[in-house]
Amino acid sequence: MGDMNRNSNLYIEAARVLHDIYEKKGSIKTCVHRSSFQEKQMLTALVSQTLRFAKVLETVVKRTKLLENNRLLWNDGMLARVLLYDFMIGPGLYKPGRLKVVMVKNKEIITSEFDRLLTAYGVNECSELPSSTTEALPRYVRVNLIKTSVDEVIDSFVDKGWTLLHVPTDFSSFKEVCQNLDENQFLRDFHLDDLLVFPAHTDFHDSRLVQDGTVILQDKASCLPAHILSPPEGAVVVDSCAAPGNKTSHMASLMGNKGTIYAFDHTIDPYVCQCEDRIEVLQERMEGAGVSCKVARCMDFLRVKTDSQTYRDVEYVMVDPSCSGSGIVSRLDSLTNDDASVSQRRLGQLHKLQAQILRHAFSFPKVKKIVYSTCSINEEENEQVCEEIYEKFKERFKIKKVMKNWPERGRKGYQKSDRYLRASPTATLTNGFFVACFKRRKMKQEVGSMESGMDQEEVSSEDDQGSQKQNGMDDEEKEENFKLNVRCTMRLHVRQQREYHVTTSFPDTRMSYQLALKTSPILSNLNVTKDDTLMAWSKSNTSICNNSFTGFAHLFAKLEGVLLDSSFSAGPQGGERIESVLNQPEEKEFLTLKPGYFQIRCDNITGDMEYKFQHGDHLVKWMAALKPVSKMPAHQEVDKITIAVTRYEYANVYHTMTDWYNAFLMLLFFNVKSFTANILFIDSHPQGGLDSIWTTLFGGYVRAGQLTKPQYFKNLIWNIQGYKSPMFRHNLPSIPHIEIFRLFFLAKHNVQVTKRLNCEKLHITFLWRRDYVAHPRNPRGIISRKAKNEKELEDSVHKLYPNHCIVSLRTENMSMHDQLGVIANTDILVGMHGAGLTLALFLPKNAGLIELYPKYWSVDNAHFKAIARWRNLQYTQWQNMDNKMEFPDYFTYIPPSVIQNLLSNIIGLMCKPYKD
């Protein structure tokens, strides 16, 4: 009985998927992925083959009047098609089942109609009837260079009986060979080195090479954009409209999987999970292809702040926006355009959106190459978009003619027609396609030095073949380039004059503060009064040396008019790339300070300079390095208030959060209205993934080890040590201004706080721990407290709560902005004990936290239980007590029933007030 239901469900589910596809809700893979049917491969095969013979099946349904005469088909033409396919063309219907009864009952009339079609088309078997493919295009197979080489894949096919043909020397001959390939013949592509060409209709969907991501089934035209963009290894790339991900994985393949690809795709509401979302398909394809250099971001590209620190190094942008799809030719792995003409209104809407996306791509400060592509044949979506945008940016960018041996160019009548690339079934044996390449012009730079760090976005030396020669340009380009060189040179001189006056070692943060005020009104409206803790600190103060030094509560201090002289210190500068200092002992990451490192003017030099800080605090050593002087030596002055910090466990987000929180309390305590300050790292740690967040929160930082001249600070705050932070006192019922800090942190990252609890559709986020190299003492990157059965747990929860949104979050390759975007929209956070659970600080009100412990880790580590208490979150925990559930490399198996029970309990607590 179970098999019968399963088989009936297969046909019903296949019909539902077909409806979704014809309603343009996604591709085959996207729609199958959304289905609850478990055997995805079986469902994919049935849907694909039904689409392949769609026209034949539709004809039979109409001529036999199956829908009119059989109520069990519910007047569903798609259901009739899938049943007909399996009954007459495929492997035969499963048995038993009520749907089979319909087919058997009508067998005579169905067979008679298929016999008529066989005679009409002159074929002997139903499987030989014409498919819905309007053009017999070759089957293109792209080799995934992340996992293998082209030669290895060729050898694999040859071993299986395929014959490799030689590639002709001219494209006309190549086309002829491709159109006449015999079964089991293939050859390399004429233009693209990583592409193989097979006979039309060759079905590789069951091939092991396809299933394990060694090769990708991708039309040749769709492979063109990545080859034309051609980002090098280590590049920083943006894929603006990435899902389902073939172009993203192709770029990663060409980059050797080295670098960063920010892959964006749009949902209804950025960062709010849509459970059956295109981004899930993207993530799955990237994992299947072995892509590790991407950062998938579930948000609208038009909302990306291109001038943020995160994207400051982006140089290559792929723009492949939504389009009419008018160039797509039906294939087993893509849906046929239904031949319905796209309305002019629809084309106008598409043109506007495409132009907006392409225009936004030009706003990345360092971008030097942008490739625009569509699978449309409409000029409104192609030449007209590019010409419109080119007019706005032609002073800085040109339209580059690429692939000069390509046979088809843009439609005539446009300014740059000969530089565009078009593809079509007749000219190139591909789907209809359009590609344009925008390239930053190479500007002549005036001789003379420029301030380091100055914006040089107008200057680029990159070119397809290296340094471009002037005589390689046409007359139009030469004239444009001369004019633009003059204009650019003038702008560069203006920048030099404007920025030359900046002499301090610290960055000017006024602009970033003004931007923060515009985007985050919460910062401009904060009027925080000191609570009991801050009041107690204020009362417990001691001033010495004419009030040049004031200590508070033996936790922190403020120094007015202090000189920092780095000649009285020893140790590395810090800031090195982590790869260069692997296995470095931790003691080498701290400066040794001698008396005179800090100097303050003091009229009574013989007076008592002692002030007691708490035992074990590095401020004790700072105090020993503080020296009174009667006269200050020559120095550079820093007007802006500065907070000095020594960081411990600098790569750990929890311990760094205590430092951020402490620095925030200093801004409150000393009434710094701007909520910005210079940060001075008095340590020698190498680069860390959290360093840039100091800039986001406070405006900028500098490493003390890199200061070469004495610096005079008008106001220098010695920050509270992280281990002495109120956040580190887990037994406290509350800590000062934790909600205000939360709002400050979110506002500085431009993350809005709008989530409200909806018990009918909860957002449940699993936060999984992954191995990664965070600091030099762990060169293998092996970390503890990892779940062994992540996918099993996610699937079990999805099955238990099909209406809720289940998200899997892995933070190692996500920016803090993106992490916060997910967490701020999460109702229940589930994860193993680890620093990542610090994000619970930013959960919405009325949220819940589930913390999991392995057997070898004590639940007395109550960091996140304390955060839940301070935030008034629902909290529950579980610890494994079974040795059999612990596995090598610190993996713990967590029974799905445990998670289900924990979720049931915490949901009951969270939602009870709304049910009562």
In this predicted model, which residue has the larger pLDDT, 772 or 303? 303
pLDDT at 558 over 80: yes
Q: Using one digit for the tens of pLDDT, what is the confidence trace for 64-102?
A: 888 888 777 878 888 989 888 888 887 776 555 677 778
Q: How far apart (Å, rounded) are the C-alpha atoms in residues 67 and 92?
A: 20
* Residue 241 labeled ligand binder: yes
Residue 868 annotated as lining a ligand binding site:
no
- Token code pair at residue 546: 């004419």
484 vs 78, 368, 396, 495, CA distance in Å? 59, 16, 7, 16
Pick 577 or 409 by higher pLDDT: 409
Measured at the CA of 527, the angle between CA 522 and CA 530, to 5 degrees, comes to: 130
Is 652 labelled as part of a ligand binding site? no
The mean pLDDT of the chain is 82
Model confidence at 458: pLDDT above 60: no
Is pLDDT above 60 for 496? no
CA atoms within a 13 Å half-sphere pointing along the CA-CB vector of 3: 4
**If phi over 0 gives left and psi between -120 and 50 gives alpha, with beta otherwise, what is residue 267?**
beta
743-764, pLDDT tens digit by residue? 999 999 888 877 889 999 999 9
Q: What percentage of the chain has pLDDT greater than the value 90? A: 49
Find the range with the poorest average confidence among 126-130, 240-244, 355-359, 698-702.
126-130
Q: Greater confidence, 815 or 897?
A: 897
- DSSP code of residue 197: E
Both tokens of residue 644? 């000095």
Q: Establish whether 245 is an annotated binding residue.
A: yes
Picking from 580-584, 704-708, 726-730, which range would have the lowest pLDDT averaged per residue? 580-584
Residues labelled catalytic = 375
Statement: residue 479 has pLDDT above 50 = no
Question: Which one-letter DSSP state was computed for residue 679?
Answer: E
The model's confidence at residue 444, banded by pLDDT at 50, 70 and 90, is very low
Six-digit token string for 342? 């796209």
C-alpha 695/C-alpha 391 separation (Å) is 36
795 is in an annotated binding site: no
Residue 580, pLDDT score:
84
799 annotated ligand binder: no
Q: Can you tell me the mean pLDDT for 109-114? A: 86
With beta carbons less than 8 A apart as the criterion, state whether 713 and 642 touch.
yes
617-675 pLDDT tens trace: 899 999 999 999 888 877 778 888 999 999 998 889 999 999 999 999 999 999 887 77
Q: pLDDT tier at 124 (50, 70, 90 boundaries)?
A: low
CB 784 within 8 A of CB 890: yes
What 3-state class would DSSP assign to 71?
helix
Residue 724 annotated as part of some ligand binding site: no
pTM: 0.49
Among 515, 554, 486, which Cα is nearest to 724's?
Answer: 554
**Position 778 pLDDT exceeds 90:** no
Using CB atoms within 10 Å of the CB of residue 760, give its burial: 0 to 12 exposed, 13 to 18 middle, 19+ buried: exposed
Would the annotation count 244 as a binding residue?
yes
| pLDDT per residue as tens digits for the range 585-619 | 888 899 999 999 999 988 766 545 778 898 888 99
